[in-house]
Amino acid sequence: MTVKTIEPVAEFSFATKYKTKHQKPGTWVLSHSVRQWHWILLALIGAVSNAALASVVPIYIGKAYFEITQPSPSLQTIGSYALIIAISQTLRGFLHFLRNFSFEVIAQNIERYVRQELFVNLLGKSMTFHNLQSVGDLMARATNDVREVNYMFSPGFNLVIGSINFLLLPLFVGPTYHPSLIIVPVAFIILYAIALWHYLSVLNPITRDVRQTFGTLNSRLTEAIDGVEIVKASAKEDAEIDLFGNNAFEYRDASVRQGDVESRFLPFLLLAVTMAAGLAHALYLMQQGLITIGDVIGYFGTLSLLGFPTNVSLFAYSQISLGFAGARRILELINTENNLDQNLDGYSQPIDGAISFENVSFGYTEDELFLREINIEIKPGQTVAIVGQTGSGKTSLVKLINRTFDVHSGAVKVDGVDVRDWYLETLRSQISIIEQDVFLFSKSIAENIAFGKPEATQEEIIQAAKEAQAHDFIMSFDNGYETVIGERGATLSGGQRQRLALARAFLTSPKILVLDDSTSAIDSDTEDRIQQAIFRVSQGRTTVIITHRLSQIRWADLIVVLRQGKVSAIGSHESLMKTSKSYQEIFSE
């Protein structure tokens, strides 16, 4: 089988690259499995040898029984049979351990490979992808679905491969007693294969529903927890409980359907019929004098080994089906096309700070554009204020500069070079965007400030914090700069988070600084000091400010007014107050 390989589109390239893009879960899982070939070899040796030694017990019990029924039984012969059984089963115990251990190592390694591949892939996706993706469903795929791939190998494939060998034993042992004793095992294997095929064809779509409904359930849970403050403020607890309950019922119903299919597992009935038919056949041959009673016991004991593959099939194949359903959901994420690439061979030079928007149109989907025909020229070192009513496209516009998003038409250029032609890391490392909704990591304050410049010294971190008017409140904490803040900075106020974000930007000393309403949660006294700091750091670099605050707009070299996704006017504050109705409306509200 030839696997078609293509170079995946990725926003960033990492040291660990996965260049083969699989369209089917089977080939994708196989691509990770072959990396474990040495463990697979050990597992197969353990599985085959373990099954072969399992047949020693019924065969030699039959021999021992036949010896006992003789007029003068030999205790030495019986003892030798017992010794063979003891040695073989001791060795079988070791081989059983080898099989289980090898499959467990395979399963854990593959889970690690899959988890790493998915994480790398998600980091490489564009913001368009992440904005449209449900976090709850994504987390379900990244945790539970990945875990199901693990379980697919251990205990799934572990039990299946181990049990397949037990299916073959009666085919080899039966004819040693009498050629016709192969009939019943062959009939069982044929009917077993047909029943198993039917079982899996019914089960597979149900297991896909199980994984899908679990993803929906997890998505609803994540949204409710993330928005718990709004839920409580709106007294909508009962409504959320009902919504979650509906999702829980759907997941339960899918799981019940899976259980219903499993409860009607036909091979159990086939096993019972096979055991009865096999024993009847062997007894008939004994009555005809063609085999001995010891042969009957040995054959029936070997035939009973079919119980192991039959019993484990119910659980093992369900687990494999769930694993493939999980793999399919993971692969859907990985194969989702991305419209950004790192452009490793792109333009890579220090930025001067010139920015131009040339007939730019953009939207999260091509059918609904938020920005249309934008034309703006920004010179190096200029401070530009972008104003407009809510929903006019201000934030979307500035995120085109560092290629958080890509334009649908037109071009955004930095220093005269289309941003799509820049080496993305070079471009973004010289641009800093501070948003109103600041994200902080569950790390120390110092680590958060130095996130963009991890090699920064403590003195540099403190200086950046002082410029952002954050030093005083940081030192009010018991551990100062080593204080660990909560997830997303939840232990800090909005103003404190914004000041830390400013410190983080000041530390990296970007050539282009974008402030997206970054002082909205700061009191007026602190804002005045921060404004002075921003004014100082903006000297010699291009600064783009999204704001409604007149104090920030007044010292801008250029003001751009957006209205319904288009440039309504461009000019100074004084000129726009005279000529732009849209600009006048902003300050009359």
What percent of the chain stands above pLDDT 70?
A: 89
Distances in whole angstroms, Cα of residue 511 to Cα of each of 53, 429, 430, 433, 448: 72, 9, 5, 11, 20
What's the pLDDT tens digit per position in 210-227? Answer: 888 888 888 778 777 777
CA distance 125 to 139: 15
pLDDT surpassing 50 at residue 108: yes
**According to the model, what pLDDT value does residue 178 have?**
92
**According to the model, what pLDDT value does residue 94 have?**
92
Rounded to an integer, the average pLDDT of 458-466 is: 89
Helix residue ranges, H only, 304-410: 307-335, 394-398
Rounded to an integer, the average pLDDT of 79-105 is: 92
Domain 25-335, what architecture?
A: Up-down Bundle (1.20)
What's the pLDDT tens digit per position in 26-43? Answer: 888 888 888 889 999 999
Tell me, what DSSP letter sits at residue 400? T
Domain residue spans of the chain: 25-335, 355-588
CA distance 358 to 172: 78
Residues 6+ apart with CB under 8 A from 270: 188, 191, 192, 195, 310
Are the CB atoms for 518 and 434 separated by under 8 Å?
Answer: yes
Q: Where are the beta strands (DSSP E) in 345-490?
A: 355-362, 371-378, 383-388, 409-414, 417-418, 431-434
Rounded to an integer, the average pLDDT of 334-346 is: 73
What's the pLDDT tens digit per position in 268-302? Answer: 888 899 999 999 999 999 999 899 888 999 999 99
CATH classification code of 355-588: 3.40.50.300
Instruction: Indicate whether this model's pTM tops 0.85.
Output: no
**According to the model, what pLDDT value does residue 229 have?**
67
Alpha-carbon Rg for the chain, nearest whole angstrom, is 35
Distances in whole angstroms, Cα of residue 275 to Cα of each of 103, 527, 535: 31, 85, 88
**According to the model, what pLDDT value does residue 153 have?**
93
Phi, then psi, of 384 in degrees rounded to 5: -120, 130
**According to the model, what pLDDT value does residue 524 have?**
65
**According to the model, what pLDDT value does residue 489 have?**
61
Task: Please give the order of strands across the beta sheet that includes 355-362.
Answer: 371-378, 355-362, 409-414, 417-418
Residues 6+ apart with CB under 8 A from 401: 355, 412, 414, 419, 431, 433, 512, 514, 544
What's the pLDDT tens digit per position in 130-155? Answer: 766 777 778 888 888 899 899 999 89
Q: Considering only 94-98, 126-130, 543-547, which range has the smallest mean pLDDT?
A: 126-130
**According to the model, what pLDDT value does residue 87 have?**
93
**According to the model, what pLDDT value does residue 487 have?**
61
Phi, then psi, of 563 in degrees rounded to 5: -145, 120
Length of the chain: 589
